[in-house]
Structure 1
Amino acid sequence: MTDGIHTEPTLSKGKTYLLALTCFGTGSARMAFTPADTGTDTTVPCDQSVVRQRITVHKPLRLDVDGTTGSTGVIAWQIGSI
């Protein structure tokens, strides 16, 4: 997971979205938002579990997901409007 996910999705201000993220492999990944008040920083286990989180957009956001030390595998994500 050397690349991770680093994205600034184009989302509408004031709307609420649902982020779904999964990791398949070993170890875990760390999900973080900028600005921090957009969502909660979360550890995602790489056991095929799906982590879902509501996010409300107040200003442009950045989503960063990086593998923790020694983690291997792939990460998939999707953002949909609610």
Structure 2
Amino acid sequence: MVHELRPRNLRPLTRKFLLCASALAVALVTGCTSDSGGQSAPASGPRTQQNPSTTAPRNDDRQGEQVEKTLGTAEVGDNDPLFIEAGLERVGDGFHSVPELARGHAYELSVVCVGQGHIRLSVALKSPLRRTLACDGAMLRQRLTASGETVRIDGDRMAGATGMVGWRLDKVNKTDE
């Protein structure tokens, strides 16, 4: 008879409580055992080699910062009347841009690749431009004059190339022409 006196909704509440308690226990155990940025091996023990998948984002960040510093895109603002556009991509992804440029105006394209290998740069103009660039951190600067046609700028990875590539497009100052 004691069994009949127990409320019917107690059993679902007990199940929910146990599920919540189990989930909390798993979260606590996972949080306590995961690496929080410190060394997981004792100082006197052998050091383990880092997983390449965790070092790649760090390399991308470092290489990306180097590209932005070389191009000067970290400090460029919307108030710069000569700035048109800039971008930063992984070499493996390449970059592709179709900027809207005024016909007959001069522009300067700057491209920097940091990493290993080479990329192929192509600019579709009236007289197409094709160059192979080493991913050595050196900046390529190229003057462009927009024709009436659409300008397409592409940077594509060549076999084995890795790293980060960035570009910047600016109007040429009338006093510099």
TM-score (norm 1): 0.91
Separation in structure 2 between the aligned mates of residue 29 and residue 20 of structure 1, nearest angstrom: 14
1:42 to 131, 137, 141: 131
How far off its partner does 1:36 sit? 5.4
Asked which structure has the greater CA Rg, the reply is 2
Q: Which amino acid in structure 2 is aligned with residue 78 of structure 1? A: R
1:57 to 146, 153, 170: 146
How far off its partner does 1:10 sit? 1.2
Distance 1:5 1:35, change over 3 A: same
Q: Structure 1: which 5+ residue stretches go unaligned?
A: none
How far off its partner does 1:24 sit? 0.4
Q: Which residue is 2:101 aligned to?
A: 11
2:158 to 56, 64, 68: 68
Q: What percentage of aligned pairs have identical amino acids?
A: 32
TM-score (norm 2): 0.44
Q: Which amino acid in structure 1 is aligned with residue 115 of structure 2? A: G
Q: Which amino acid in structure 2 is aligned with residue 55 of structure 1? A: L
Separation in structure 2 between the aligned mates of residue 36 and residue 72 of structure 1, nearest angstrom: 31
Distance 1:29 1:36, change over 3 A: farther
Q: Which residue is 2:113 aligned to?
A: 23
How far off its partner does 1:35 sit? 3.4
Q: Which amino acid in structure 1 is aligned with residue 135 of structure 2? A: C
Greater helix fraction, Structure 1 or Structure 2: 2
Q: Which has the higher contact order (CA 8 A, sep 6+)?
A: 1
| Number of equivalenced pairs | 81
Distance 1:70 1:62, change over 3 A: same
Greater strand fraction, Structure 1 or Structure 2: 1
